Chain A
Amino acid sequence: MPYTYHSKEDRAAMLRLLGFDSEDRLFDAIPEGLRLDQPLPIENGRSEPETLRLFKRLAVKNHGAHGLVNFLGGGIYDHVVPSVVNNLASRPEFATAYTPYQPEVSQGTLGVIFEFQTHISRLTGMPIANASMYDAASAMAESALMAAKATGRKTILMPDSVNPRYRRVVERYVSGQNLLIEAIPATASGQIDAGALSARLGDDIAGVVVQTPNYFGVLEEPWAFSDPVRESGAMLIACVCPISLAIFRPPSEYGADIVIGEGQSLGNPMSFGGPLVGFMACSQKLIRQMPGRIVSRTKDVDGHTAFVLTLQTREQHIRRAKATSNICTNQGLLATRATIYLSLLGEHGLTELARLCHDKAHRLAERIAACDGYGIRFGGPFFKEFVVECPTDAVAVVKRARELGVLAGIPLEKYYGETSRRDLLVAVTENNSDEDFELLCDALCKARDAEREPSNA
């Protein structure tokens, strides 16, 4: 609907109708001492060209990953986004972030969501998937609440190898519901300490989170503790990388009850860190604890295939304070892009992509390990991301590399403290070329030499 403001004549006509001589009379109910008797101290409006100029000037101050050689990861990855994704997703039928308020009218939207759910269900091996979540972090928080509800218990075990940003979101998200988040240490291989985890299980543990590949890029071995977790009655919550599922065992095979993850890498740009799109899948028995929307396929009165929103009765507009969750929408546009992306790549394409990322990452890791002073921090197997042990402060290395046009990765000190001072998380995608590897290794060597110089002098 176009916005039409009231003209002076309109206002005068309205005041005449009300019998007022000025607009001030409309505010008679507000005591005079509280009223502002001067114009607001804000600038006047600007013309369109002036505004454009201002914003362009601000925009060029941003340095997007694409102008630089990029090895940033940690949850958001620089994968190729095929033009088809942009083209189809920007069709007006798709370009909305909302499931409509009368959802069944929009069979197309529901059809796309149903396909999204089907993709997620097939990738994870789980029977139920919902219409998407805001991001992996909030999906993890919702899965913690689900586990608490399903078990009637209050403590969630959160290994140190889980993305620390997700951990912080979970802590904040569940704090009002009296859930306790307890850490489990990682071993020298960069994996969950399975012994410490099994020892902590008991009748107070509602759920155990396992992220694989984990924040260090290392693959966990969930079957090392999935039996004890199940026997203790706790829910196993797996946070997975969807692309990795093309070549690694799905979480359904190691007994995950809830599977969540980040779908940004599926056809969505990095966008300076968001918006993102989470996904969530679960076992049949948890379907009524699952938050968000679920689209189902059914038949209408004439026997035609039709899509409907199901299990809505447990959501806010009916259950109010007793609703399953406060999730009242889905991440429609990004989930649509993920659906287009997965449909485009297909099983073979996704497998090829996963292998490519894996192989490139291992090639780069070898090259970095061959740089004097640098090493690979953890011994565990990894997918497309790994932690580099630098000869000096990782923050200094990143700073030097940035001067050379290279985004070298994420220094881990701010999440893991002093003992991780030299740790640098490096991510590789199919987007990274051999030339990129050359530039990164060169930057790493220069950073090392620069740090050595002062002490040599």
Chain B
Amino acid sequence: MDFGNVRFTVEHEWVRFDGENAVVGVTDFAAGELGDIVYVELPGAGTVVKAGEVMGTIEAVKTVADLYAPVSGTILEVNAELENAPETVNSSPFEDGWFVKMKMSDLAELESLMEHDVYQELTGN
């Protein structure tokens, strides 16, 4: 898998960017640590979020984790599939299990995020 245009946060989220458009999800490491994900609560399209803010929750069998906005911007679309099949986050964290698509308002924020190899080190891989 090509992680050239993907950046990572310390909250174990990923951002795949293309110009000012971005797709956000959680990493395979995060999905594995949470265990079976049973519910995700996502912000509605049109919501304006700021980097670092809580924008939703991820509920697993044993815990509930916050979903943070990795970058600032406006939510364009949420992954409606997750409503009925939240386990997709476990089975396909980088592809079908994406959370939101957003329009970034400050591309410079990407520079403070980690590239794939740095993130790999963080998780001890």
Contact = CB atoms under 8 A, between A and B. Distances in A.
A322 B64 CA distance: 10
A404 B22 CA distance: 79
A313 B66 contact: no
Given A288-B39, A288-B41, A318 B66 contact: no
A322 B66 CA distance: 9
A319 interface: yes
A314 B62 CA distance: 10
Interface string B50-79: 000000000111111010000000000000
A313 B41 contact: no
Which bracket fits the contact residues of B?
Answer: under 10
A319 B63 CA distance: 8
Interface in A285-322: 288, 313-314, 318-319, 322
A318 B63 contact: yes
Interface in B65-98: 66
Contacts of A288: 39, 41, 59
A329 B64 CA distance: 20
A321 to B, nearest CB: 11
Interface residues of A, number: 6
Nearest to A322: B66
B27 to A, nearest CB: 21
Interface string A214-248: 00000000000000000000000000000000000
A319 B39 CA distance: 15
Contacts of B66: 322
Nearest to B62: A313
A298 to B, nearest CB: 12
A177 B1 CA distance: 46
A313 B66 CA distance: 12
Interface string B94-122: 00000000000000000000000000000
A313 B37 CA distance: 12
A319 B66 CA distance: 10
A331 B59 CA distance: 27
Contacts of B60: 313
Interface string B21-62: 000000000000000000101000000000000000001111
Which of A288, A313, A314, A322 gathers the greatest number of chain B CB atoms within 10 Å?
A313
Nearest to A313: B64
A319 B65 CA distance: 8
Contacts of B61: 313
A315 to B, nearest CB: 9
A438 B61 CA distance: 61
A286 to B, nearest CB: 12
A445 B39 CA distance: 64
A288 B61 CA distance: 14
Contacts of B39: 288
Contacts of A322: 66
Contacts of B64: 313-314, 318-319
A265 B29 CA distance: 52
Interface in A314-370: 314, 318-319, 322
Contacts of A313: 59-64
Contacts of B59: 288, 313-314
A159 B18 CA distance: 52
Nearest to A318: B63
Nearest to B59: A313
Interface in A132-186: none
A66 B13 CA distance: 64
A412 B63 CA distance: 48
B56 to A, nearest CB: 12
A288 B60 CA distance: 13
Contacts of A318: 62-64
Given A288-B39, A288-B41, 6 more contacts: A313-B59, A313-B63, A314-B64, A318-B62, A319-B64, A322-B66
11 contacts: A288-B39, A288-B59, A313-B60, A313-B61, A313-B63, A313-B64, A314-B59, A314-B64, A318-B62, A318-B64, A319-B64
Pick the 3 closest A-B CB pairs, nearest first. A313-B64, A313-B63, A318-B63
